[in-house]
């Protein structure tokens, strides 16, 4: 790789070194398979404690698309649908995984990437007869695809409208650590578990080699979930290799440390970019930022750094928004190098 | 775990130590995601070389059920079916994963777990009109679920009948290493690649933490396969973590060493058990053996060792067949302990 | 058509003339659509009365494969399966329609086409963990694909084993009239409704232009069934055109008259064939018979009559079983002509 | 039904009397089943002639949702999607039938219910990698759900953009007769067949008891289509009962007469309503009109006539748009009665 640093995503490295250590340390211990191992039981207990829900079920899978598709295949009857915003991950970036399990996504407009209670209610009201699917679950991701987060009040309102309308509330937590550790954030894991029926805690983007933990809070949704896992190819023989990672991430709060570091690196980048006089597509407080830069500057930066060009600016055709993404692994030196180079070019 | 040793399966441990070492060594190197990393390209090249098929496509997924379901979802039109023996893994032990992608399995009787050319031809002939599904692919696993293997002649005959009838030939290689290294075996990876359209090389059961490599030999089946991977939740952001493992397993033939060790341990067990005067459900030369023991002996052994009781003996109701499974990790001492205990009980 | 008569199936003609009359008589009356018409309400009431189940739900669809696929899509969770005999219609002659909705069929051996309680119990017992689908419904057809029927005791035993094992019991009644009017039969519609959770009454093969009436007896299975109908393309705008037919068929028991006539014609054929000295593949008392004839006789008969050659006789290679199928429309003269021709040839 | 007349839809009656006559006339003629009957062959030939495409394949199914879902299940690979406008029938009013076959609908904004070439191109361009579905077919209905039609130039432009981008072009012709006979229309069946790959001719809404004729123009899409029909429960044993209807509708152009009558009745209604001083939601020239009336007038009219209230007027909260729908069966007296009542109320 000829780049000085990749700011493309938060999964350009392997795992946090302590995660790999734990895999090595437990490696030769014989265990039962398919989630009946001692590590999985221990990790489930640990997560139950963290969210203060002693009857929650926890299942470990290898990636987020899988967590989403298995969950919705489990939650929905054939004629039931999920509601998601236009930029929602399952709507755009999962190659039709939800539809491949037979279910429609009712797409609504997001507000800075967020689903609103009004959009949920309007969607439910519009679907009034047997010719239309029946919305049954509201999907959000915390943080959103645009790097924004839901605050406590927003989550409560979503939770309430779902309850009132008889919908389940699902939270995709691929970047839930970043949302929780955001300086704007005021929700912890336990509050999230209080407000939704089912969510997942993302490992892949926050220090795990890979792995996500699906947490089923609502007891009505727990039965026979493992059949769905098996049927969709999501049940690993060595589930231990996922649960050992979550044990490590949640013992001593490494998970939150990782997320905080990623956020701090992104915000340091944002501050430096703002100081150069540039504005941003949206205000974010997590590990993704979307500065708007002159195209010539972007071209020059791309010789040294990898990142996505997000959107062309309509009002200023010589400028574009880019996405810079940091992770638990981003060294401060990479941030400083980027900012120095930007200053040179500005 | 209070057992002295688990002979339940070949995935009771983590990964071969050299695999974990490689994951650690490459851990912080930044790479592109979703299979565009340098390790995946290198591993694909390495496997292409091993099978002598320079245009084969190689894709890394996390488990065998996933490899099967994604492949058949890709191979088959909605009205097309696969042919498999009654004991075949997708027919019994994948919780309807193939049917969940919309496809029927035409089930035929196996001969010691093996699919026969006659069964394929009969099935195709029976499906003669628009009221019936159209068989389109023959599925086998090498080794079979019963621990037996196909020899070269058997594979050639299956390959020929498939070609003649316009069927694809798919080989599930969850235990392909054990089949290749069997003392009865006379097929290598390259021959397998010559004879089939698509197969997968199992890592989970042979030294990987997890991971299987799908190898698409037939160029007609290669296009857009990655869309299927993504749609079924089988495309890992950190595909690198799979390909690094396969790189390690196939450099210096660690893969074959692992398989050979497992086979040798199983055959050592078999020899000792035979010396105690017991017979076997079937003759196997891989890492699974099925000795028939008195139920009282089985009960006593189960206090120290974990294994599956396979089938009750109809002719001798006080006896049962058990399955003993060894792996790359099985120490010779475990084998000797088991045999000593068996001798005491006999 | 150059044949003197078609004995191929029981749907070679249009509808019973009184059915067409009723369609004409009601034709210009304006009605609400999608089953909210007055005829559908009246037909539902009529059928409820006939089966003595005042809370049953009745839905009209256009064919039997549709009735089956919509019902199973409605009954089953993704990981649940149905049990059927090897010759069962959904297993062989629906082009994978059940699997296309995502569900596995657990195939068991039939006894003269019949499912047995033992086969159900064995199948349920074999499916013991999360790696296997969970059988949830037992499927039979009355009459069976081989023209045989279940008597009351057999149905009661099936019903009991289903209840005991927590399975639904589904009866495909494509030829339910023929079964009920069989001289061996001792079950009426009301008894059938007592013993199962859901069944359908076949119109296509018994005097309707087309149409089947799905009857949902078990109240737990009634909710939102119409969503499934719509989603699978089974909800007709002019459902009236189906319900008017069922109204006609069940007023004055035309349905049972039709079935009886078909049975009588078949049994008259059987008697005449037996008098010529021929035997039968199986003893049937409905509108399908399977005489075993010399191939030369078959060849000669096929010049004047259309019918299916069913199976070659293994013990007598110069003979084959043929299927002769009669219907509400079969004139006695066709039967007599056939028998006369057979006598000439014998 | 206590209404003087239903303007709710164009399927409130049975079939055109000549259609029923033909069913009666052919009723007892014995025929082969599942589309191998002489009427189906003759109807296919007749339609081929009308569209001037001698190699087109024609299949008869019972309703429009079925025609759509079978066609898309046939056209699309699992990861491929269809593009449709937000008001498109499969997107809103088929209860997720397309998604139930596993496929995503890419929804774009319609212009008076019409899909635009720009929207197609933009959608294709946005779907650029393996994380997103691959748009493969553009869906329109002619006439649209809003009663508007595509003129020849618009269809040509859609056809061209599809060809250029490698997309199939599908036309839902539930009301294709009304579109062709619209006084604004300048496309006939033959032109439609020239411009698209596959379309269907709606019978249910234009004089048939029920039935739609799927016409596959593109030879690449013809193979094994009947397997899809069977698998989705769309293949009728007595396909004859559908084809006899199409024979009747297309001999002597009854189909076009029916459509013209419906259009004329709607336009007479529109003229009378405009004369009362009311405006319309959109200008239509087919058999649906959307006048905007005061709510008090609507309430009064609803006591005698059944119709849908379509949308509330935002700018004028005391007014609403209603939908009035006419058919081949609408008598001029019903139109005059309605207009007289409206004049009284205005």
State the distance between the two ends of chain C, measured CA to CA, in whole angstroms.
26
Instruction: Please give the DSSP secondary-structure letter assigned to residue A140.
Output: E
Q: How far apart are CA C255 and CA C247, in angstroms?
A: 10
Which residue in chain D is spatially nearest to B235 when comparing CA positions? Answer: D131
In the CATH hierarchy, which fold is given to the domain comprising B17-254?
A: 3.40.640
Q: Which residues of D touch A92 (CB under 8 A)?
A: 131-132
pLDDT at C92 over 90: yes
Contact C78 B100 (CB under 8 A): yes
Tell which B residues from 53 to 92 touch A, by Cβ distance under 8 Å.
Answer: 62-63, 65-66, 68-70
Q: Which residues of C touch D98 (CB under 8 A)?
A: none
CA distance A90 to chain B (A): 10
D102 close to A (CB below 8 A): yes
| Residue C2 pLDDT | 83
Contact A232 B1 (CB under 8 A): no
Contact C227 A34 (CB under 8 A): no
pLDDT at C1 over 60: no
A143 close to B (CB below 8 A): no
Smallest Cβ distance to C1: which of D1, D6, D30?
D30
Contact D32 C70 (CB under 8 A): no
Interface-testing mutation among A32, A59, A79, A103, with chain C (most C C-beta atoms within 10 A): A79
State the distance between the two ends of chain B, measured CA to CA, in whole angstroms.
26
In the CATH hierarchy, which fold is given to the domain comprising D5-11+255-345?
A: 3.90.1150
Q: Confidence class of residue C318 from pLDDT cuts 50, 70 and 90?
A: very high
**Cβ contact B129:D34 at 8 Å:** no
Which residue in chain B is spatially nearest to D236 when comparing CA positions? Answer: B131
Bridge partners of D322, per DSSP, are D309
Bridge partners of C59, per DSSP, are C214
**Cβ contact B76:D73 at 8 Å:** no
Instruction: Please give the DSSP secondary-structure letter assigned to residue C287.
Output: S
**Cβ contact B107:B140 at 8 Å:** no
The residue among C215, C133, C211, C132 whose CA lies nearest residue C170 is C215
pLDDT digits over B292-346, tens only? Answer: 999 999 999 999 999 999 887 677 789 999 999 999 999 999 999 999 999 999 8
For chain B, the C-alpha Rg in angstroms (whole number) is 21
Which residue in chain D is spatially nearest to C307 when comparing CA positions? Answer: D32
D234 close to C (CB below 8 A): yes
**Cβ contact A125:A119 at 8 Å:** no
Contact C30 D12 (CB under 8 A): yes
Instruction: Please give the DSSP secondary-structure letter assigned to residue C33.
Output: S
Q: How far apart are CA A305 and CA C218, in angstroms?
A: 64
Tell which A residues from 146 to 185 touch D, by Cβ distance under 8 Å.
Answer: none
> What is the pLDDT tens value at each position of chain B, 346 positions in all?
589 999 999 999 999 999 999 999 999 999 999 999 999 999 999 999 999 999 999 999 999 999 999 999 999 999 999 999 999 999 999 999 999 999 999 999 999 999 999 999 999 999 999 999 999 999 999 999 999 999 999 999 999 999 999 999 999 999 999 999 999 989 999 999 999 999 999 999 999 999 999 999 999 999 999 999 999 999 999 999 999 999 999 999 999 999 999 999 999 999 999 999 999 998 899 999 999 999 999 999 999 999 999 887 677 789 999 999 999 999 999 999 999 999 999 8
Q: How far apart are CA C90 and CA B99, in angstroms?
A: 14
**Cβ contact A275:A294 at 8 Å:** no
Q: How far apart are CA D219 and CA B149, in angstroms?
A: 44
Better pLDDT: C178 or B282: C178
Query: Class for domain A17-252, per CATH?
Result: alpha beta
What are the residue boundaries of the structural domains of chain A, listed by start?
Answer: 5-11+255-345, 17-252
Mean pLDDT of C317-324: 94
pLDDT digits over A291-316, tens only? Answer: 999 999 999 999 999 999 988 767 77
CA distance D105 to chain B (A): 15
Contact B73 D78 (CB under 8 A): yes
Region of poorest pLDDT, from A260-269, A324-333, C291-300, C303-312: C303-312
Q: How far apart are CA D86 and CA D110, in angstroms?
A: 6
Q: How far apart are CA A337 and CA D222, in angstroms?
A: 60
What is the pLDDT of chain D when averaged over all its residues?
96
Q: How far apart are CA D287 and CA D39, in angstroms?
A: 30
Q: Which residues of A touch D131 (CB under 8 A)?
A: 92-95
In the CATH hierarchy, which fold is given to the domain comprising B5-11+257-345?
A: 3.90.1150
DSSP D193-258: HHH-SEEEEE-TTTT-SS-EEEEE-SGGGTTTHHHHHHHTT---TTTHHHHHHHHHHHGGGHHHHH
pLDDT at C139 over 80: yes
| Residue D251 pLDDT | 93
Q: What is this model's ipTM?
A: 0.97
Interface-testing mutation among B18, B237, B247, B328, with chain A (most A C-beta atoms within 10 A): B237
Sheet of A212-216: strands edge to edge?
A57-61, A212-216, A198-202, A168-173, A134-141, A80-85, A105-108
CA distance A290 to chain B (A): 20
Mean pLDDT of C263-273: 98
Bridge partners of A213, per DSSP, are A60, A201
Mean pLDDT of D284-298: 96
The residue among A58, A114, A56, A59 whose CA lies nearest residue A83 is A114
| Residue A156 pLDDT | 98
Q: Which residues have CB under 8 Å from A311's CB, separation 6+?
A: A281, A320, A321
Contact D30 C6 (CB under 8 A): yes
Q: Confidence class of residue D346 from pLDDT cuts 50, 70 and 90?
A: confident
CA distance B100 to chain D (A): 11
Q: Which residues of A touch D130 (CB under 8 A)?
A: 95
Q: Give the B:C interface size as CB pairs under 8 Å.
A: 53
**Cβ contact B81:B103 at 8 Å:** yes
Q: Confidence class of residue D1 from pLDDT cuts 50, 70 and 90?
A: low
pLDDT digits over D326-341, tens only? Answer: 999 999 999 999 999 9
Tell which A residues from 121 to 140 touch B, by Cβ distance under 8 Å.
Answer: none
Smallest Cβ distance to B12: which of A33, A69, A227?
A33
Which residue in chain B is spatially nearest to C123 when comparing CA positions? Answer: B92
Q: How far apart are CA C249 and CA A290, in angstroms?
A: 70
| Residue D282 pLDDT | 86
What is the pLDDT of chain A when averaged over all its residues?
96
**Cβ contact C241:D209 at 8 Å:** yes
If DSSP codes are grouped into helix, strand and coil, which group holds residue D41?
Answer: helix
Q: Which residues of C touch D22 (CB under 8 A)?
A: none
CA distances from C269 to C264, C278, C290 (A): 9, 12, 11
DSSP D149-202: ---HHHHHHHHHHHHHHT-EEEEEETTHHHHHHSTT----HHHHHHH-SEEEEE
Structure tokens at D69: 């879902």
Chains touching B by CB (3 or more pairs below 8 Å): A, C, D
Contact A94 D130 (CB under 8 A): no
Contact A103 D96 (CB under 8 A): yes
pLDDT digits over A276-295, tens only? Answer: 999 999 889 999 999 999 99
Tally of CB atoms within 10 A around C32: 19
Which residue in chain B is spatially nearest to D76 when comparing CA positions? Answer: B77
Q: How far apart are CA D203 and CA D207, in angstroms?
A: 6
Q: Which residues have CB under 8 Å from C236's CB, separation 6+?
A: C34, C60, C61, C62, C242, D62, D63, D204, D210
CA distance A107 to chain C (A): 19
Helices (H) and strands (E) in chain C, counts: 14, 13
D231 close to C (CB below 8 A): yes
Contact C102 B100 (CB under 8 A): yes
Chains touching D by CB (3 or more pairs below 8 Å): A, B, C
pLDDT digits over D216-275, tens only? Answer: 999 999 999 999 999 999 999 999 999 999 999 999 999 999 999 999 999 999 999 999
D251 close to B (CB below 8 A): no
Tally of CB atoms within 10 A around C55: 9
| Residue C300 pLDDT | 97
Q: Which residues of D touch A103 (CB under 8 A)?
A: 96, 99
């Amino acid at each position: 790789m000829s780049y000085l640093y990749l700011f493309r995503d938060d999964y350009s490295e392997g795992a946090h070194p302590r995660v790999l250590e734990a895999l090595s340390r437990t490696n030769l211990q014989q265990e039962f398979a398919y989630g009946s191992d001692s590590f999985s039981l221990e990790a489930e207990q640990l997560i139950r404690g963290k969210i203060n829900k002693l009857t929650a079920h926890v299942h470990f899978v290898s990636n987020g698309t899988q967590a989403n598709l298995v969950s919705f295949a489990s939650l929905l009857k054939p004629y039931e649908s999920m509601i998601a915003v236009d930029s929602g991950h399952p709507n755009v970036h999962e190659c039709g995984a939800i539809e491949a399990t037979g279910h429609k996504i009712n797409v609504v407009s997001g507000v800075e990437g967020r689903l609103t209670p009004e959009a949920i209610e309007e969607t439910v009201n519009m679907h009034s007869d047997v010719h239309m699917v029946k919305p049954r679950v509201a999907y959000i991701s915390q943080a959103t695809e645009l790097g924004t987060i839901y605050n406590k009040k927003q989550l409560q309102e979503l939770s309430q409208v779902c309850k009132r309308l008889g919908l389940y509330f699902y939270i995709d937590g691929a970047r839930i650590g970043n949302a929780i550790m955001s300086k704007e954030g005021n929700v912890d894991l336990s509050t999230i578990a209080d407000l939704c029926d089912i969510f997942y805690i993302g490992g892949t983007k926050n220090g795990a080699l890979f792995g996500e933990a699906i947490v089923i809070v609502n007891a009505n949704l727990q039965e026979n979930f493992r059949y769905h896992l098996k049927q969709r190819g999501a049940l690993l023989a060595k589930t231990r290799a996922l649960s050992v990672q979550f044990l490590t991430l949640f013992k001593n709060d490494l998970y939150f440390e990782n997320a905080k570091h990623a956020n701090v690196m992104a915000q340091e980048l944002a501050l430096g970019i703002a100081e150069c006089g540039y504005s941003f597509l949206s205000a974010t407080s997590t590990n993704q930022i979307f500065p708007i830069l002159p195209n010539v500057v972007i071209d020059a930066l791309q010789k040294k750094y990898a990142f996505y060009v997000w959107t062309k600016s309509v009002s200023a055709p010589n400028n574009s928004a880019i996405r810079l993404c940091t992770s638990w692994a981003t060294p401060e030196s990479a941030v400083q190098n980027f900012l120095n180079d930007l200053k040179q070019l500005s």
